Chains A and B, each alone.
Chain A
Amino acid sequence: MAQTAQAPVAPPPRADERLGRKSPVARMLARPEAGAIAGAIVIYIFFFIIAPPFRNASSFSSVLYVTSTYGLMATPVALLMIGGEFDLSAGVAVTSSALTASLFMYEFTTVAWVGVLVALAVSLFIGFLNGWIVIKTGIPSFLVTLGTFFMLQGLNIALTQTITNQVSSPDISTLQGFSSSRVVFSGSFTVGGVNIRTSVLYWIVFVIIATWILLRTHIGNWIFAVGGHAPSARAVGVPVGRMKIGLFMAVGFMAWFTGMHTLFLFNTIQAGQGIGNEFVYIIAAVVGGCLLTGGYGSAVGAGIGALIFGMVNQGIVYAGWNPDWFQFFVGLLLLGAILLNTYIRRRAEAAI
């Protein structure tokens, strides 16, 4: 973790003759997201050459939009992964949140914002429950959240059908407070003739906040520590349980935010959607340099991982290929990223 690279150290610390000067390129390569940046550039150039529509600004705006829908969730998932845990329920949790909001506001005919707040509470509670079970039982989060993944998936469909007799939530666009909610969660604006969704801005802001927390606050230090070696963190007084539960709740928060974005964009939610997205978030984080074993990674990396996703997802369409190729590319990216990460970890832990 070459935090030096961006630390604004005022007076250069005494130079040590045993340290060779590192070129900026070498420093860059030592960062967790180095591989992802290189990959993103290669993929951009690739599609820039083979898919002419990819070169338009408006196309890139839609690449960024797809990126943001993955990237919003990939950010807390990356933090959670650095903290040493997984959340397989993250994909369906987005749908659960959106369904909760829409069904609540529709069935009780409340102002849209009431449903939004109820959904926030439910999402935070799901995150809390995931974390609490993991901490209290010591069962790997992979298994715990696999359980909650299936439970939420079942609840999403079963409850929606019981309440509405359909597999999607009712249209909420006529409710009071809908338009103001839409402005907040699913707005868009135009720059130089190109339409950009606000979710792209939110995504960038959340990546910046997450990066700041990770590298510049004691909370970030603790996240790396609980993921890197929890017993050590506990021994020096880091509240490991609370940290991990907090990270699960951060995933819950973002599932809510992403869910609200989707809900107010489409007015209605399919009860079965979101399945499989949890892997996209995890893969984005891993491609961005997060170690599956925790303790290493970056939020910027996860953002770039999401960008790679967005580019491949849209690039294939612009190139006129069969979209089925997308899955193949995703698998290939993941394998490449894991190979690179393993190499980095071996180097970093050479002495252990």
Chain B
Amino acid sequence: MSTPQDTPPMGRHHAPESPTAAGPRAGNGTGTALVRLINAGKRYGAVIALQDITMEVSAGEVTCVLGDNGAGKSTLIKIIAGLHQPSSGVYEVDGEPVSFNSPREALDHGIATVYQDLAVVPLMPVWRNFFLGNEIKKGPRIDIPAMKTMCKDELLAMGIDLRDVDQPIGTLSGGERQCVAISRAVHFGAKVLILDEPTAALGVKQSGVVLKYIIQARERGLGVVFITHNPHHAYPVGDRFLLLNRGTSIGYFEKSQITRDELTGLMAGGAELEQLSHELEGAGGAAAEIGAVLGEEVAELGIADRPAPAAAPATESDAR
């Protein structure tokens, strides 16, 4: 959770015009977003965890939420997933304002969240995990053969070929578990998938596999909210990018409005890095050398002299 500090990061305050800067949607003519937050905020007592967030995701789209630790990503997920209600602003599903009291209600609206811990029970077999909470029943009993077959087929459809759906899910690799969790959400009729740092704990190859499933989910017409701190994972799959820092939005872009390097620069927090490099240079010795190298990198990325990011979208689209 973000802890508000006495000095707000300079120039990082979200300007109200920023969401509109993302512009009206081109193409994808459905019009209404599946999920939309308008100026949503969340307070925990005196702590402002999230402030003035506006974002949306439509069918067949991936909206990436980027931010460092404590930027407010988890709070945002909890609001969308129905664990928390926003303390200010509006939460709309299919254009209707909603107020969820539990994740179950969000789920009933087709909003499924795949958490970092994946909501799987490690010691239980894959198929029992897959159908947990949604068991297929035959009278008072559960239909075990049907569930096993369906689980295997559904995983196969997502391109996951499991040796044995009877093995405890804890014996699968991190990427495989992630994919089981995603295909489970898809199978149970999710319209919107919220993925909480699905690639955070994975190696390069496994991350690639998960990114592939994100694209697959998008192509099946789902809206995906992809939370990550890695711009290299976000950029290839994302259609929109919401950048968070200390609980506020520092930019909301369409893919056409931003390049990967700019996204990386914003994520790295160019101005803060520059300041850090000055401090290190001032310290002398080895620290000064590191500071100099850091300074060069900041200059290379072209993020040091950026105008306040709130104004950035306009500048960027002009440049293009």
Which residues of A are in contact with B by a Cβ distance under 8 Å? 1-4, 7, 9-10, 13, 16, 18-19, 216-218, 221-222, 224-225, 228-229, 231-238, 291, 295-296, 345, 348-352
B168 interface residue (CB < 8 Å to A): yes
Residues of the B chain whose Cβ atoms lie less than 8 Å from the Cβ of A9? 144-145, 148
The reply to whether B125 and A3 form a contact with Cβ atoms under 8 Å apart is yes
Sample (14) of A-B pairs whose CB atoms are under 8 Å apart: A9-B145, A16-B163, A225-B128, A225-B132, A225-B133, A231-B117, A232-B117, A295-B121, A295-B124, A345-B123, A348-B168, A349-B170, A349-B171, A351-B172
Task: From known contacts A3-B125, A228-B122, infer whether A217 and B141 are also in contact, taking CB-CB under 8 Å.
Answer: yes
Cβ distance B133 to chain A, nearest Cβ, rounded Å: 4
Which residues of chain B from 108 to 130 have any CB-CB distance to chain A below 8 Å in the complex? 113, 115, 117-125, 128
Instruction: State how many residues of chain B have any CB contact under 8 Å with chain A.
Output: 37
The reply to whether B170 and A19 form a contact with Cβ atoms under 8 Å apart is no
B43 interface residue (CB < 8 Å to A): no
Task: From known contacts A233-B133, A237-B104, infer whether A7 and B142 are also in contact, taking CB-CB under 8 Å.
Answer: no
18 further contact pairs, Cβ within 8 A, besides A1-B123, A9-B144: A3-B125, A19-B163, A216-B141, A217-B142, A218-B135, A221-B124, A221-B135, A224-B124, A225-B133, A229-B122, A232-B119, A235-B113, A235-B115, A237-B133, A238-B132, A348-B171, A349-B123, A350-B171
B149 interface residue (CB < 8 Å to A): yes
Contacting B123 at CB < 8 Å: which of A217, A218, A233, A348?
A: A348
Which residues of chain B from 76 to 110 have any CB-CB distance to chain A below 8 Å in the complex? 103-104, 107
Interface membership of chain B positions 143-180, coded 1 if the CB is closer than 8 angstroms to chain A and 0 otherwise: 01100110010000000000110101011110000000
Cβ distance A145 to chain B, nearest Cβ, rounded Å: 24
Give CA–CA (A2, B168) in the complex, Å: 9
Cβ distance B150 to chain A, nearest Cβ, rounded Å: 12
Cβ distance A282 to chain B, nearest Cβ, rounded Å: 19
Residues of the B chain whose Cβ atoms lie less than 8 Å from the Cβ of A7? 144-145
Residues of the A chain whose Cβ atoms lie less than 8 Å from the Cβ of B128? 221, 224-225
Residues of the A chain whose Cβ atoms lie less than 8 Å from the Cβ of B172? 351
The reply to whether A4 and B166 form a contact with Cβ atoms under 8 Å apart is yes
Cβ distance B154 to chain A, nearest Cβ, rounded Å: 14
Task: From known contacts A10-B145, A16-B164, A19-B164, infer whether A232 and B123 are also in contact, taking CB-CB under 8 Å.
Answer: no
Residues of the A chain whose Cβ atoms lie less than 8 Å from the Cβ of B27? none
B134 interface residue (CB < 8 Å to A): yes
Residues of the B chain whose Cβ atoms lie less than 8 Å from the Cβ of A16? 163-164
The reply to whether B170 and A218 form a contact with Cβ atoms under 8 Å apart is no
Give CA–CA (A345, B171) in the complex, Å: 11
Nearest B residue to A212 via CB reads: B141
Residues of the A chain whose Cβ atoms lie less than 8 Å from the Cβ of B113? 235
Nearest B residue to A231 via CB reads: B117
Residues of the A chain whose Cβ atoms lie less than 8 Å from the Cβ of B120? 229, 232
The 6 closest A-B pairs by CB, nearest first: A228-B121, A236-B133, A235-B119, A218-B135, A232-B119, A237-B133
Residues of the A chain whose Cβ atoms lie less than 8 Å from the Cβ of B170? 348-352
Which residues of chain B from 268 to 313 have any CB-CB distance to chain A below 8 Å in the complex? none
Residues of the B chain whose Cβ atoms lie less than 8 Å from the Cβ of A18? 163
Residues of the B chain whose Cβ atoms lie less than 8 Å from the Cβ of A236? 119, 132-134
Residues of the B chain whose Cβ atoms lie less than 8 Å from the Cβ of A349? 122-123, 168, 170-171
Residues of the B chain whose Cβ atoms lie less than 8 Å from the Cβ of A228? 121-124
Contacting B121 at CB < 8 Å: which of A3, A13, A233, A291?
A: A233
Cβ distance B283 to chain A, nearest Cβ, rounded Å: 42
Give CA–CA (A235, B113) in the complex, Å: 8
B137 interface residue (CB < 8 Å to A): yes
Give CA–CA (A218, B168) in the complex, Å: 18
Give CA–CA (A238, B115) in the complex, Å: 16
Residues of the A chain whose Cβ atoms lie less than 8 Å from the Cβ of B104? 237
Residues of the B chain whose Cβ atoms lie less than 8 Å from the Cβ of A224? 121, 123-124, 128
Cβ distance B257 to chain A, nearest Cβ, rounded Å: 35
Cβ distance A348 to chain B, nearest Cβ, rounded Å: 5
The reply to whether A295 and B123 form a contact with Cβ atoms under 8 Å apart is yes
Give CA–CA (A295, B170) in the complex, Å: 13
Give CA–CA (A9, B147) in the complex, Å: 11
Cβ distance A288 to chain B, nearest Cβ, rounded Å: 16
Residues of the A chain whose Cβ atoms lie less than 8 Å from the Cβ of B115? 235
The reply to whether B166 and A237 form a contact with Cβ atoms under 8 Å apart is no
B140 interface residue (CB < 8 Å to A): yes
The reply to whether B141 and A225 form a contact with Cβ atoms under 8 Å apart is no
The reply to whether A216 and B142 form a contact with Cβ atoms under 8 Å apart is yes
Give CA–CA (A19, B165) in the complex, Å: 11
The reply to whether B149 and A237 form a contact with Cβ atoms under 8 Å apart is no
Give CA–CA (A279, B76) in the complex, Å: 46
Nearest A residue to B108 via CB reads: A237
Cβ distance B177 to chain A, nearest Cβ, rounded Å: 9
Nearest B residue to A293 via CB reads: B123
Give CA–CA (A236, B103) in the complex, Å: 8
The reply to whether A13 and B124 form a contact with Cβ atoms under 8 Å apart is no
Residues of the B chain whose Cβ atoms lie less than 8 Å from the Cβ of A222? 132-133
Nearest A residue to B115 via CB reads: A235
Nearest A residue to B83 via CB reads: A235
Nearest A residue to B104 via CB reads: A237
Nearest A residue to B171 via CB reads: A351
Cβ distance B169 to chain A, nearest Cβ, rounded Å: 9
Residues of the A chain whose Cβ atoms lie less than 8 Å from the Cβ of B121? 224-225, 228-229, 232-233, 295
